[in-house]
A and B are shown apart, each in its own frame.
Chain A
């Protein structure tokens, strides 16, 4: 493993030498390598502790509520959140907050209605819950499709962030940067599994929270700790003027507003890499605690990132900030606003730190995503559908192969989608999670009349509707495919696709009168008892 890493490091250094317009930042490079070496050490340690499939997927269930809270918050504070939201605030002001709030309010809802039941019914993936009393084959296939779609979309967003970041710092070719992230991620996940992924995530969460806090304090320091003065300066320096202080043209009509809101909130409850984290703790009590910590960290992060975003407006759009613009556009795109801001505030050393943190953020999140994608294939499809008698070893091996495949797909698509705003891409991933994963999960927990047929047909209809409407919508149909007018007028399809999913699941369950359906409905009683009490839950601590 160390050999691979050394090769990777050498080849990337060689690439840095082939520099473009911006000079190589030594501080940043040193920070990068400290982080990479450190996390490789963790991966090595984790690899030695990862023996069974349970270790690989859930770190053996031995993560504490506080640690898991940090890790969940880490999964949340992805490149899209950190770079994307601060970039959005930099461009549009308050509109960036609409995303932030949507991401956050999904949390309490998951906690109140689902976290505990997930923990009590599941083992490795969220499909375990839906497949508890329904047909393994159908439900797991469906869930795997949903998970993979979300994982890939989310992965693209992170890859784009990583590529841009490294491009800005080293003048390294975008494609090579994306490739490097892909390679590192594959190493973390294949060798260290969930344990390494979790620890990389925890370390990154701590670094990120301290980094942005420092940035926010520096910004406020320049304005005597008055948000009002900061806002005055930001309004003065932004081309939109006072419009940045209230919702703008970002969400232009009520249907888009409701649809995006729905995607952000319900999507949270359908993100496979976050749902997986409920299985890394020992019991439901710890699962609940971890949500409290996670919500606290994320809430704090959003408040701080607002200050960073406004700081970026105030500082970068000034005479000294002009150096960060090339042809009137921010170098590296709006996603790089907070990175450039760190340079203005703390010089090369702080730029190095923030860049390393941003890079760590991306690595940690892509690792979690890849693991979720790999579990969907190996645990849901392989171990439960294709070969139910597979040994643990075999399943973990399939996972590792999948990790490599997901890595390759992520890199390829990351290159193809280079110019997309990453927060927007994540919005789409949320839309699909809300339409394909959430309805099945929710109804399988709460609705006793649900049948396999209903879930299967309805779930696919939700997924297909979401994907189709995204393709036919303005962002893909017009901006990527170059057509003149979008067939579907709204950028966010969740309102329609979630409705399609719920209605068709309900309808096809309702008309299902088969013996199998009857049997499945009878099983609900037992499932409900377990969901409510945790009796029989995997890995539960006995009292």
Chain B
């Protein structure tokens, strides 16, 4: 990439804003997902009996199923949350940065 262009973009406060906002948002969501997933895996590893708990006295269903379905849904929902923000707010910032550097592009 052209040095002048890199310098100019790096100096643009919008670039700093984009990078810090986006990465902190992405990291938060990623950590959230990792905690949920490893919580699930580690519970299987260390406390398998918990998953065998029955939903109610007369039911054969265990808590394992609703938990599994919930994790699947959470994965989908966090994906939507990220994309809505990335394709809106972050995308706008990106466009603004590109506009500011138009003469060098």
Contacts and interface: CB of A to CB of B under 8 A. Distances in A.
A518 interface: no
Interface string A73-111: 000000000000000000000100110111011011101
A129 to B, nearest CB: 14
Given A101-B68, A288-B86, A295-B75, A261 B37 contact: yes
A112 B28 CA distance: 9
Interface string B3-41: 101100110000100110010001101100110111011
Contacts of B65: 94, 227, 245, 306
B24 to A, nearest CB: 11
Most chain B CB atoms below 10 A, which of A94, A109, A533: A533
A310 B83 CA distance: 34
Contact of B10 (A105, A107, A289, A529): A529
A232 B62 CA distance: 11
B44 A251 contact: yes
A254 B1 contact: no
Contacts of B95: 543
Q: DSSP class of A's interface residues: helix, strand, loop or mixed?
A: helix
Interface string A295-308: 11001001100100
Contacts, number: 158
A116 B22 CA distance: 11
Most chain A CB atoms below 10 A, which of B38, B44, B86: B44
B87 A105 contact: no
B29 A533 contact: no
B90 to A, nearest CB: 9
Contacts of A102: 37, 41
B45 A254 contact: yes
Interface in B36-85: 36-38, 40-42, 44-46, 48, 51-52, 59-62, 64-65, 68-69, 71-73, 75-76, 78-80, 82-83
Contact of B44 (A98, A245, A295): A98
Given A108-B78, A113-B26, A288-B87, A97 B68 contact: yes
Interface in A497-531: 525-527, 529-530
Interface residues of A, number: 54
A111 B29 CA distance: 10
A258 interface: yes
A536 interface: yes
B40 A525 contact: no
B34 A529 contact: no
Given A242-B60, A532-B18, A108 B75 contact: yes
B9 A533 contact: yes
Contacts of A107: 75, 79
Given A107-B79, A295-B76, A246 B33 contact: no
Interface in B83-105: 83, 86-87, 91, 94-95, 97-99, 101, 105
Contacts of B60: 228, 231-232, 235, 242, 245
B52 A245 contact: yes
A478 interface: no
A353 to B, nearest CB: 26
A215 interface: no
Kindly list the 5 A-B residue pairs having the minimum CB-CB distance in the complex, ordered from nearest: A526-B1, A254-B45, A246-B52, A257-B45, A261-B41
20 contacts: A100-B72, A101-B40, A104-B75, A108-B75, A112-B26, A113-B30, A228-B59, A242-B52, A251-B44, A254-B46, A257-B41, A261-B41, A288-B83, A299-B72, A299-B76, A306-B68, A526-B1, A536-B1, A543-B95, A543-B98
